Amino acid sequence: MPLLEVTDLRTLFATEDGTVRAVDGVSFRLEPGRVLGIVGESGSGKSVTCLSMLGLTPRRKTKVSGSAVFKGRDLLTLGEGELRSVRGAEIAMIFQDPMTSLNPVRTVGFQLTEAIRLHGRVPSSEAESRARNALASVGIPNPAERMKSYPLELSGGMRQRVMIAMALLNEPDLLIADEPTTALDVTTQAQVLGLLRDLRERTSASIILITHDLGVIADLCDDVLVMYAGRAVEQGEVRDIFGDPQHPYTWGLLASLPRMNLGARRIRAIRGSPPSLLALPKGCPFHPRCPAAFDRCREERPAAEPVAAGSAHLAACHLAPAERLAARRGGAAAAAAAATDARAPAAGAAATGATARATTGSSTEGSAPVGADGAPPPAAPEDVP
Ligand SMILES: Nc1ncnc2c1ncn2[C@@H]1O[C@H](COP(=O)(O)OP(=O)(O)O)[C@@H](O)[C@H]1O
Ligand code: SF4
Ligand SMILES: [Mg+2]
């Protein structure tokens, strides 16, 4: 049985400018002990997905629907009291900015011992020694002294370690880490990631790691959910996403990864910007930026479908699986050629459709190619990860 099964999660925010579809039909499963990475550009709905499950979105003017079944209970149906006891004890969350969770006017020791005692009657001496051990376990030197510090007396990296120690105090079944290293310098980032890697080995907890960095996903995760404009556009195991990525948006993310051996010259960003969630484009929300877009993409929203029968690797893209490899290696023109081959028996209609696809896919009418250098991306074979 999965530890967490999210089905058709939707979160709508009513704003003065209209309805923001921050999460728009996201589904995934998380098995015990697995690490799921949620990746996507800023504003794609990663944080709101997790906050919605935990009842942490603003109550007013927010509509959350779907289900999020955690250990057999749908979190979306629980009352505030029940949710509060799930949070902190069974599910813990670490945020990008530790100061959103740490109280600046209380010592680290006070906050840690309070978190322990909130979830069970524990003598204060035992709470203190558990708190010290927790600080030691996340590599904080001299934990007895640090217990007396106030959060603002610590460096950003130390504060994030305190946050992680606090999250782990009650041995949660699920740890959600939302961009835990984004605000840190590179060296401290590496240390905190090392800590999470270590944690993954040491505990049986499942982890959801939110990041905009696929490199972090490759390093730490078992499963991946790629989000774009509030939707899951591709999901599967890490080896699927890195070895056989199916969605043009994922190709763009992969092509943006810095390659040590290729130098900065090879770093490509995805052209254009994500759409406004107040006014999503019709059809596939990625079509204005997609190098392989064709007519159907502008009309019809693609559903997430298995890449092969029975596979847990899903992609939401109208390209047929046979067309995707060609599109990924050679851009839209190759996709069109592959589509022509695949549909050869119905020569007339299929060939016309494919030609239309080649023209629209490489045209400039509102669609920006993924490759930063303007080439239909990822064009060079060495760019295909
Ligand atoms: N309380 C809110 N009211 C209105 N819009 C919101 C609110 N919280 C988040 N959003 C919007 O929802 C979208 C998804 O946000 P978020 O999940 O934070 O993105 P990210 O992928 O960067 O974590 C963004 O466009 C954000 O502006
Ligand atoms: S090919 Fe079409 S459906 Fe697939 S990602 Fe591009 S625009 Fe979306
Ligand atoms: Mg976020």
For residue 247, is pLDDT > 90? Answer: yes
**Contacts of residue 139, Cβ cutoff 8 Å, sequence gap at least 6:** 161, 191, 195
Q: What average pLDDT does range 375-384 have in this prediction? A: 35
State residue 92's pLDDT score: 92
Q: What average pLDDT does range 239-264 have in this prediction? A: 82
> Structure pTM?
0.84
State residue 233's pLDDT score: 98
Ligand 2 pocket: which residues have CB below 6 Å?
247-248, 284, 286-287, 290, 292-293, 297, 302, 317-319
pLDDT digits (tens, 9 = 90+) for 27-41: 999 999 999 999 999
Nearby residues for ligand 3 (ion, Cβ within 5 Å): 47
Residue 128: CB atoms within 10 A of its CB come to 17
How many Å apart are CA 192 and CA 139, to the nearest integer? Answer: 10
- With residues binned 3-state (H G I as helix, E B as strand, rest as coil), the percentages for the chain, rounded to 5, are 40, 20, 40
Q: Among the ranges 148-162, 268-282, 331-345, 362-376, which has the highest mean pLDDT value?
A: 148-162
State residue 300's pLDDT score: 97
**Contacts of residue 102, Cβ cutoff 8 Å, sequence gap at least 6:** 108, 111, 151, 159, 162, 163, 166
How many Å apart are CA 334 and CA 375, to the nearest integer? Answer: 13
Residue nearest to atom 17 of ligand 1 (CA): 45
Taking alpha carbons only, the member of 219, 252, 220 closest to residue 234 is 252
Taking alpha carbons only, the member of 209, 283, 287, 264 closest to residue 49 is 209
State residue 261's pLDDT score: 53
pLDDT digits (tens, 9 = 90+) for 69-126: 999 999 999 999 999 989 878 999 998 888 888 999 999 999 999 988 887 788 989 9
Q: Which ligand gives the minimal distance to the CA of 327?
A: 2
pLDDT digits (tens, 9 = 90+) for 65-83: 999 999 999 999 999 999 9
**Domain assignments of the chain as residue spans, ordered by start:** 1-90+173-243, 98-171, 244-383
Q: Which CATH class is domain 1-90+173-243?
A: alpha beta
Backbone angles phi, psi at 41, to 5 degrees: -65, 165
Q: What average pLDDT does range 128-153 have in this prediction? A: 93
DSSP E strands in 18-90: the ranges are 18-30, 35-39, 62-70, 73-74
How many whole angstroms from 45 Cα to the centroid of ligand 1? Answer: 6
State residue 191's pLDDT score: 84
State residue 260's pLDDT score: 53
Could you give the 3-state DSSP secondary structure of residue 28? strand
State residue 267's pLDDT score: 52
For residue 345, is pLDDT > 70? Answer: no
13 within ligand 1 shell (Cβ under 6 A): yes
- Which of 194-203, 215-224, 346-355 has the lowest average pLDDT? 346-355
Q: Chain-wide mean pLDDT for the chain?
A: 83
Could you give the 3-state DSSP secondary structure of residue 136? helix
Q: How confident is the model at residue 178 (pLDDT cuts 50, 70, 90)?
A: very high
The helix (run of H) or strand (run of E) holding residue 91 is: strand 91-94
pLDDT digits (tens, 9 = 90+) for 286-336: 999 999 999 999 999 999 999 999 999 999 999 998 888 888 876 555 555
**Measured CA distances, 82 to 46, 52, 73, 78, 332 (Å):** 24, 15, 11, 6, 51
Q: What average pLDDT does range 157-174 have in this prediction? A: 89
Angle separating helix axes 156-168 and 186-202, nearest 10 degrees: 20
- Which of 6-10, 270-274, 287-291, 309-313 has the lowest average pLDDT? 270-274
pLDDT digits (tens, 9 = 90+) for 209-233: 999 888 889 989 999 999 999 999 9
15 within ligand 1 shell (Cβ under 6 A): yes
48 within ligand 1 shell (Cβ under 6 A): yes
For residue 342, is pLDDT > 80? Answer: no
Q: What average pLDDT does range 178-193 have in this prediction? A: 84
Backbone angles phi, psi at 119, to 5 degrees: -110, 30
State residue 339's pLDDT score: 47
- Which of 128-132, 202-206, 235-239, 367-371 has the lowest average pLDDT? 367-371
Q: What average pLDDT does range 237-254 have in this prediction? A: 94
Q: Give the nearest ligand 1 atom to 230 CA.
A: 14
Could you give the 3-state DSSP secondary structure of residue 385? coil
Residue nearest to atom 3 of ligand 2 (CA): 317
How many whole angstroms from 43 Cα to the centroid of ligand 1? Answer: 6
Residue 67: CB atoms within 10 A of its CB come to 15
Q: Which ligand gives the minimal distance to the CA of 40?
A: 1
Taking alpha carbons only, the member of 112, 145, 149 closest to residue 128 is 112
How many Å apart are CA 115 and CA 170, to the nearest integer? Answer: 8
State residue 49's pLDDT score: 98
How many Å apart are CA 145 and CA 385, to the nearest integer? Answer: 47
How many Å apart are CA 190 and CA 169, to the nearest integer? Answer: 23
Tokens representing 198 are: 């270590």
Q: Give the nearest ligand 1 atom to 23 CA.
A: 14
How many whole angstroms from 305 Cα to the centroid of ligand 3? Answer: 26
Q: Which residues pair with 15 in a beta bridge?
A: 18
Give Rg (Cα) of the chain: 23
